[in-house]
Amino acid sequence: MVRIGTLPMRLLALRFGADIVYSEELIDWKFLRSKRRYNEILHTVDFVDQTDGTIVFRTSEEEKEKVVLQLGTCSPDRALKVAKLVEKDVAAIDINMGCPKEFSIKGGMGVALMQNLDKACCILKTLVDNLSIPVTCKIRILDTKEKTLEVVQKLAQTGIKAIAIHGRTRDERPQHAVHHDIIKYVSQNISIPVIANGGSKEIEKYADILKFKEMTGCKSVMIARAAEWNCSIFRKEGMLDMDQVIREYLKLAVLFDNSPSNTKYCVQNILRELQETPRGRKFLDCQTLEQICEIWDLGDYCRNKQSEYQKLGIQGRWQVCPDELEPPNKKAKCGDINLNDVFQMKVCFIRANYNDLNLPKSQLHAWVGKNGYKVPTYETHQVEKLFRSILTLNGKKYTSTFWEKNKKFAEQGAALVALYHLGLITEEELIKLGSIIK
């Protein structure tokens, strides 16, 4: 559920009938560089990355008793530090020991922990002994039911409250059949609840969830891909059509100020092959929440909500500045940049709005050439993972007060400010492009 299990999708699953929801897998070191902050405008608890201001984890009161933080870790100490940070904000902590991705394995996380059971047990025991909330874990099956049961028994001895079992081995993928028999064998021979996972290939409606539960003999069923495709799979009354699901999801994405990139990714997973339709291709060109919402007739809702949040002073990506992050960087801060006599404007550069020939810098350089001016120069400042560039042209300086995530984007943002002041692009055009939020 990486990039899928964010707050809007979790809330949608709960509203459609899910009993428990999991966050996407969050890596311990990324969490440890974040700071907990209560968002008074969204009424959420945010864990904000102190290097770039992005949201590592956002949760709300509505899901507090039902959300499980899924943690990627290979260290008992780091795992406990993260768990202590979120202990009062989530219902449980789950250690991911089933992820087969190379990133996890190389870091000693995910399924790699099944090859190092002593460390796996140490992580779980450390959490169980020091937390007031339940601890669980998720694994993949081994080659035989006997080997799988042996591992589960050892993990269960740490005091975890439940274990999720993905019915495929480390090397098997979704195209391989899930091994119901191994999950069932373990569930019949272990005292703690077993959650069956890996059945999305055969789960197409709510009744299939119950069928999978019966086939595996488990206490519960965990669904990932089938829920990504249509979250209304949890509705006992029957599934809703795709467009209705997308609309409900987008309302939550706007309501909780979800990032455009994450929102787009989640909608892509709902559309799947329909991305190749005319509407799908139009959607793929979108880069802002407003542009995405417009396709599903929610443009006004998005604009109004974003305008409301801006007036209330929301602290989101648009407000990110190194000085607002804690602790401030000791080497450089916003205040260290000389902005005397600099034309400033809050403009965001969105790459998908341009091809290689009409980038803001290219437009500006073409104009400079026609008018006989010297090529503009760029002075770029970096603080942690944030960048801001000051453009000098014909003795005048221009910059965007929006801090970008790389040097190239910062230069393009400064070029947009220059284009605006030169009358080569209007505010209305910048608003339409999503580069300005009013």
- Catalytic positions are 99
Burial class (CB in 10 A: 0-12, 13-18, 19+), 46: buried
Q: Of all helices (H) and strands (E), which one includes residue 282?
A: helix 278-284
Distance CA 123, CA 78 (A): 9
**Within a 13 Å sphere around the CA of 30, how many CA atoms are in the beta-carbon half?**
12
DSSP 404: B
Burial class (CB in 10 A: 0-12, 13-18, 19+), 376: buried
Distance of CA 191 to the CA centre of its chain: 35
What residue type is 112 in one-letter code?
Answer: A
* Angle at CA of residue 109, ends 18 and 225, nearest 5°: 30
Residue 119: C-alpha distances to residues 114, 131, 152, 153, 154 (Å)? 9, 18, 14, 15, 12
**Within a 13 Å sphere around the CA of 399, how many CA atoms are in the beta-carbon half?**
21
Q: Is the peptide bond before 360 cis (omega within 30 degrees of 0)?
A: no
DSSP 233: G
The candidate with the shortest Cα–Cα distance to 413, out of 394, 435, 433, 428, is 435
Question: Dihedral sign, CA of 380, 381, 386, 388?
Answer: negative
Work out whether strand 396-400 and strand 194-197 pair parallel, antiparallel, or are unpaired: unpaired
